[in-house]
């Protein structure tokens, strides 16, 4: 194509003007964005953050649950307690002679703390080994996901325990139960598999869930096949006596992580007592959500979720709380008796950062400039208490 010098210069002039206009537009856009950032205006800054969700649920009185001749089961999953995405809880009571039938969980491991009475458990592991254990008040168990197990009330008094599962989407009423499976199999197939003839030919096509039987008098009977090897992995831990103890002026904690209880590979457990009028200091957990069950007492829990969002809720016996990973929080005993808590974290290891320790780990002038005080005044933080006080 033949392009004259005049035509070329004209085209170049137009192109240059276009580039200048584009550059000016980009410049103006950058300036506007800089102004918005400096003034706190703009879509990101003006978008209102979601309000903090309710983080307390009454599992004992607010859950309809299951009730039968052998006991009760009340749960708090994401259906009842939407904020608790990573941990579900079940409060279960078994009457003397009752048992939670042989079953397994496909999506969650099971943890428990015994609140009342005595419980006998049996469990089968994938390596073919088995274990039978007796649990008393303050003991905990942990059954990994998929391990078949059974829970029985031991003795002539009811037992009660709080169960924790490492998925908030788990439901106790959707487990894989022995009777549910066997009752829906062709009788001939079942007889062939177990070599039972007609013995199990008329099983009802329904789940037993919690059954009733004779009151247990022999705490450690022999299995049908006594030659099946015992498991080398302990499913039992005596939390109230063997947990890592930390004492404070206002209470104590007992910690059980996977370091102390190796099979507990997805959770960390904590028992906490807070004396009347005392508080658990301001802190957060960098690596885990926190789930609490109130054994007794009453108190307030306050949380901080960034963007100026704070919320305080009260709780008492039979209620659970859920605090998201990284959210700042505190606990305060507002009652006249000791506030007793069982706490779970969805990590095998425990991590915590407290506000007072964080502040004390910085130079006094830096801290002072955050709050408009003097460096000398900031040094008073050296006296801040720690833990529960």
Tens-place pLDDT, residues 153-191: 999 999 999 999 999 999 998 899 999 999 999 999 999
Active-site entry in 120, 147, 149, 254: 149
Active-site entry in 75, 80, 101, 110: 110
Q: Considering the domain 243-383, what is its CATH architecture?
A: Sandwich (2.60)
User: Whole-number mean pLDDT of the chain?
Assistant: 90
Residue 379 CA to residue 190 CA, distance in Å, equals 75
Please state the rounded mean pLDDT for residues 31-36. Answer: 46
Active-site entry in 80, 152, 172, 290: 172
Please state the rounded mean pLDDT for residues 345-373. Answer: 98
Contact of 245 with 353, CB cutoff 8 Å: no
179: three-class secondary structure by DSSP: helix
Tokens of 152: 């029985």
Q: Is 100 a catalytic residue?
A: yes
Q: Are strands 98-104 and 210-212 parallel, antiparallel or unpaired?
A: antiparallel
Domain with CATH 2.60.120.10 in the chain: 56-237, 243-383
pLDDT surpasses 70 at 13: no
Span 224-274, pLDDT tens digits? 999 999 998 899 999 999 999 999 999 999 999 999 999 999 999 999 999
Q: Is 329 a catalytic residue?
A: no
Residue 317 CA to residue 115 CA, distance in Å, equals 12
pLDDT surpasses 60 at 323: yes
Burial letters for 158-185: b for 16+ Cβ neighbours within 10 Å, e otherwise? ebbbbbbbbbbebbbeebebebbebbee
Q: Is 105 a catalytic residue?
A: yes
Residue 185 CA to residue 178 CA, distance in Å, equals 11
Question: What is the per-residue pLDDT for 16?
Answer: 40
Question: What is the per-residue pLDDT for 232?
Answer: 81
- Torsion, Cα 183 188 194 197, to 10 degrees, reads 110
311: three-class secondary structure by DSSP: strand
The distance from CA 21 to its chain's CA centroid, rounded to whole angstroms, is 57
Q: Which CATH number fits domain 56-237: 3.40.630.10, 3.40.50.10800, 2.60.120.10, 3.10.129.10?
A: 2.60.120.10
pLDDT surpasses 60 at 21: no
Span 264-300, pLDDT tens digits? 999 999 999 999 999 999 999 999 999 999 999 999 9
Span 107-152, pLDDT tens digits? 999 999 999 999 999 999 999 999 999 999 999 999 999 999 999 9
Share of the chain above pLDDT 70, in %: 88
Residue 57 CA to residue 68 CA, distance in Å, equals 23
Question: What is the per-residue pLDDT for 5?
Answer: 35
Indicate the pLDDT class of residue 45, thresholds 50, 70 and 90: low
Indicate the pLDDT class of residue 63, thresholds 50, 70 and 90: confident
pLDDT surpasses 60 at 1: no
Residue 258 CA to residue 83 CA, distance in Å, equals 25
Please state the rounded mean pLDDT for residues 360-377. Answer: 98
In Å, how far are 132, 165, 169, 285 from 78, measured between CA atoms? 32, 12, 6, 21
Active-site entry in 60, 101, 103, 332: 103
As beta bridge partners, residue 279 has: 332
Question: What is the per-residue pLDDT for 100?
Answer: 98
9 vs 171 pLDDT, higher one: 171
Q: In terms of C-beta density within 10 A (0-12 exposed, 13-18 middle, 19 or more buried), how is residue 344 classed? A: buried
Query: Cα angle vertex 367, ends 364, 372, to 5°?
Result: 110
Q: What are phi and psi of 203, to 5 degrees?
A: -70, 140
The model carries a pTM of 0.87
Question: What is the per-residue pLDDT for 46?
Answer: 64
As beta bridge partners, residue 185 has: none
Active-site entry in 105, 120, 271, 280: 105
Question: What is the per-residue pLDDT for 48?
Answer: 85
Active-site entry in 100, 147, 235, 285: 100
Q: Are strands 244-248 and 251-256 parallel, antiparallel or unpaired?
A: antiparallel
Residue 340 CA to residue 319 CA, distance in Å, equals 12
Q: Is 172 a catalytic residue?
A: yes
Please state the rounded mean pLDDT for residues 196-221. Answer: 93
The distance from CA 383 to its chain's CA centroid, rounded to whole angstroms, is 33
For residue 382, give the DSSP letter: G
């Amino acid at each position: 194509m033949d392009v004259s010098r005049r035509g070329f210069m004209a085209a170049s002039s137009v192109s240059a003007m276009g580039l200048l206009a584009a550059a000016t537009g980009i410049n103006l856009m950058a300036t506007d964005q800089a102004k918005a950032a400096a003034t706190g205006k703009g879509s990101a800054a003006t978008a209102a953050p979601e309000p903090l969700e309710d983080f307390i649920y009454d599992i004992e009185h607010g859950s309809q649950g299951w009730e039968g001749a052998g006991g009760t089961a009340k749960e708090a999953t994401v259906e009842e307690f939407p904020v608790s995405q990573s941990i579900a809880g079940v409060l279960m009571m078994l009457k003397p002679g009752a048992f939670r039938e042989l079953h397994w969980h496909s999506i969650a491991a099971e943890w428990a703390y015994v609140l009342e009475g005595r419980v006998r458990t049996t469990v089968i592991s994938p390596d073919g080994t088995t274990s039978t254990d007796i649990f008393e008040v303050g003991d905990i168990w942990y059954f990994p996901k998929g391990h078949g197990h059974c829970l029985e009330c031991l003795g002539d008094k009811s037992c009660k325990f709080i169960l924790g599962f490492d998925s908030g989407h788990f439901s106790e009423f959707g487990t894989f139960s022995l009777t549910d499976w066997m009752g829906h199999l062709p009788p001939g197939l079942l007889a062939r598999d177990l070599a039972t003839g007609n013995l199990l030919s008329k099983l009802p096509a329904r789940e037993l869930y919690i059954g009733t039987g004779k009151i247990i008098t022999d705490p450690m009977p022999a299995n049908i096949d006594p030659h099946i090897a015992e498991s080398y992995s302990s499913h039992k831990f005596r939390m109230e006596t063997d947990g890592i103890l930390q004492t404070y002026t206002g209470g104590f904690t007992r910690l059980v992580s996977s370091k102390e209880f190796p099979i507990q590979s997805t959770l960390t457990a904590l028992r906490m007592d807070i004396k009347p009028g005392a508080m658990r200091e301001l802190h957060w957990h960098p690596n885990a959500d926190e789930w609490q069950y109130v054994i007794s007492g009453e108190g307030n829990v306050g949380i901080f979720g960034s963007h100026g969002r704070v919320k305080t809720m009260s709780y008492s016996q039979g209620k659970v709380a859920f605090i998201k990973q990284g959210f700042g929080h505190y606990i305060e005993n507002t009652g006249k008796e000791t506030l007793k808590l069982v706490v779970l974290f969805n990590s095998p290891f425990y991590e915590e950062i407290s506000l007072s320790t964080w502040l004390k780990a910085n130079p006094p002038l830096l801290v002072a400039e955050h709050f408009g005080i003097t460096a000398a005044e900031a040094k008073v933080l050296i006296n801040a208490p720690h833990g529960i006080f």
